[in-house]
Amino acid sequence: MKIRDIMTPEPRICTPETTLAVAAGQMWDTDCGILPVVEDGALVRVLTDRDICIALATRPARAAAMKVGEVAARTVWTCGPDEDPHVALAAMKTHRVRRLPVVDARGHLVGVISLNDLVLAAGPDAAVRGDEVVDTLKAICAHHLPAPKAVAA
């Protein structure tokens, strides 16, 4: 089994100029929590439902006025379609993410693999075991609070 066998092919995408309102609508329509952000054909960022929520809660602007490029994560972890699913699990565990864009050898987006995809592919006779998925989820969900701010005396 390869990542290409269990990923979501041809995911919805957005650009840095897409508004958060449009991006949220795309997420709603496709029941997904991530949109790859593409510019001139290249994957440049990712936008998550959490990015949208935090941006709207912490900035004095409406979703229709905010652009994806203002809030989407610049650091993007990816995997390849011909890699073993364990590569995706390891990246998710290390980087504490639930979804990874899948890019081909030229760096073009070909899909997205999510922890949900891996859960559905797991089984006793499958390439991915359920306990491996649970270990990854535990690592992702572990509390990771920022260091307390220093208080001036």
Query: Which residues fall within 8 angstroms of residue 36, CB to CB, at 6 or more apart?
Result: 11, 13, 14, 43, 45, 46, 101, 109, 112
pLDDT value at residue 142: 77
**Cβ-contact 136, 96 below 8 angstroms:** no
- The one-character DSSP state at 67 is B
3-state class percentages of the chain: helix first, strand second, coil last, to nearest 5: 40, 20, 40
pLDDT in tens, 46-73: 999 999 999 999 999 999 999 999 999 8
pLDDT value at residue 131: 75
The Cα–Cα gap between 101 and 33 comes to 12
- Strand pairing class (34-39; 42-48): antiparallel
For the chain, domains (ranges, CATH) are 3-141 (3.10.580.10)
Residue 81, pLDDT above cutoff 70: yes
- The one-character DSSP state at 61 is S
Residue 147, pLDDT above cutoff 70: no
Query: Which residues fall within 8 angstroms of residue 109, CB to CB, at 6 or more apart?
Result: 11, 13, 36, 38, 43, 101, 102, 103
pLDDT in tens, 110-122: 999 998 888 888 8
Q: Highest-confidence range of 13-17, 86-90, 94-98, 114-118, by mean pLDDT?
A: 13-17
The Cα–Cα gap between 131 and 115 comes to 13
pTM, rounded to two decimals? 0.82
Helices 20-30, 49-58: crossing angle, 10 deg rounding:
140
Nearest to 76 by CA among 52, 37, 46: 46
Q: How confident is the model at residue 141 (pLDDT cuts 50, 70, 90)?
A: confident
- The one-character DSSP state at 146 is P
Check residues 145 and 137 and name the one with the higher pLDDT.
Answer: 137
Q: How confident is the model at residue 44 (pLDDT cuts 50, 70, 90)?
A: very high
